[in-house]
Amino acid sequence: MGKTIAQKIFDSHRVDNPSGDINVIKLDAVFCHEITTPIAINDLKSRGKYRVFDKNKIKAVIDHVTPSKDSKTAEQAKIMREWARDLDLKDFFDVGQNGVCHALFPEKGYVRPGYTIIMGDSHTCTHGAFGAFAAGVGTTDLEVGILKGVCAFKSPETLKVELTGTRAKGVYAKDIILHVISQLGVNGATDHVIEFDGSVIADLSMEERMTLCNMAIEAGGTCGICPPDETTVDYLWPFIKDGYSSKDEALKDYSQWMSDSDAEYSKVLKLDISKLEPVTTFGFKPDQVKNVTDMKKAPVDQVYIGSCTNGRIEDLRAAAAVLKGRKLNSSVRGILAPATPKVYREAVKEGIIDIFMDAGFCVTNPTCGACLGMSNGVLAEGEVCASTTNRNFNGRMGKGGMVHLMSPASAAAAGIAGYITDPRAYLD
Amino acid sequence: MKDFNGKILFLDRNDINTDEIIPAKYLTEITKDALKPYLLEDLNMEGFDSESDLPGKKVIVTRENFGCGSSREHAPWALEVNDINIVIAENFARIFRQNMFNCGMMAVPLEKNQIEKLFSTFSGKETELKTDFAGSKFTFTTGTESLEVPFEISDFDRSLVEAGGWVDFADKNY
The Cα-based distances of A80 to A22, B18, B68, B75 in angstroms read 31, 24, 27, 22
Any CB–CB contact under 8 A between B170 and chain A? yes
Domains of chain B, by residue range, sit at 6-173
Cα separation, B73 vs A185, in Å, equals 23
Domain boundary among A220, A248, A272: A272
For an interface test with B, give the residue of A31, A139, A154, A214 to mutate (most B CBs within 10 A): A139
CB B139 within 8 A of CB B151: no
Q: pLDDT value at position A161?
A: 98
Residues A16 and A149 in one domain: yes
pLDDT at A146 over 90: yes
Residue A202 C-alpha, separation from nearest chain B C-alpha, in angstroms: 29
Residues A13 and A122 in one domain: yes
Based on the structure, what is the number of domains in chain A?
3
Asked if residue A107 belongs to a domain, the reply is: yes
Q: pLDDT value at position A428?
A: 77
- Closest CB from B94, B156, B171 relative to A22: B156
Asked if residue A333 belongs to a domain, the reply is: yes
Q: pLDDT value at position A270?
A: 98
Cα separation, A130 vs A239, in Å, equals 13
**Known binder of ligand: residue A32?**
no
For an interface test with B, give the residue of A27, A43, A44, A393 to mutate (most B CBs within 10 A): A393
Any CB–CB contact under 8 A between A49 and chain B? yes
Q: What is the pLDDT along chain B (174 residues), one digit of tens a residue?
A: 999 999 999 999 999 999 999 999 999 998 899 999 999 999 989 999 999 999 999 999 999 999 999 999 999 999 999 999 999 999 999 999 999 999 999 999 999 999 999 999 999 999 999 999 999 999 999 998 999 999 999 999 999 999 989 998 898 888
Q: Which region, left, alpha or beta, applies to residue A238 given φ > 0 means left and ψ of -120 to 50 means alpha?
A: alpha
Domain boundary among A272, A306, A337: A272
Asked if residue A144 belongs to a domain, the reply is: yes
Fold topology of B6-173: Aconitase; domain 4 (3.20.19)
Asked if residue A277 belongs to a domain, the reply is: no
Cα separation, A336 vs A248, in Å, equals 38
Residues A386 and A335 in one domain: yes
CATH number at residue A106: 3.30.499.10
What's chain A's average pLDDT?
97
Residues A172 and A44 in one domain: no
What residues of A are in contact with residue B70 (Cβ under 8 Å)? 122, 372, 391
CATH number at residue A254: 3.40.1060.10
What residues of B are in contact with residue A184 (Cβ under 8 Å)? none
Q: pLDDT value at position B169?
A: 87
Nearest to A51 by CA among A152, A151, A143: A143
Cα separation, A279 vs A178, in Å, equals 7
Domain boundary among A107, A138, A154: A154
Residues A255 and A288 in one domain: no
Query: Residue A25: closest CA among chain B residues belongs to which residue?
Result: B174
Which ipTM did the prediction report? 0.95
- Closest CB from B95, B98, B171 relative to A148: B171
Residues A21 and A144 in one domain: yes
Residues A287 and A416 in one domain: yes
**Segment B84-97, tens digit of pLDDT:** 999 999 999 999 99
Any CB–CB contact under 8 A between B15 and chain A? yes
Q: pLDDT value at position B171?
A: 84
Q: pLDDT value at position B30?
A: 82
Any CB–CB contact under 8 A between B20 and chain A? yes
Q: Do B159 and A19 touch (CB under 8 A)?
A: yes
Q: pLDDT value at position A249?
A: 98
- Closest CB from B71, B99, B174 relative to A24: B174
Asked if residue A129 belongs to a domain, the reply is: yes
Q: What is the DSSP letter of B90?
A: S
Residue type, A22: I
Show the domain range for A268: 157-272
Average pLDDT for residues A66-93, to the nearest whole number? Answer: 97
Q: Do B156 and A152 touch (CB under 8 A)?
A: yes
Residues A105 and A209 in one domain: no
Confidence of residue A205 (pLDDT cuts 50, 70, 90): very high
**Known binder of ligand: residue A226?**
no
pLDDT at A406 over 90: yes
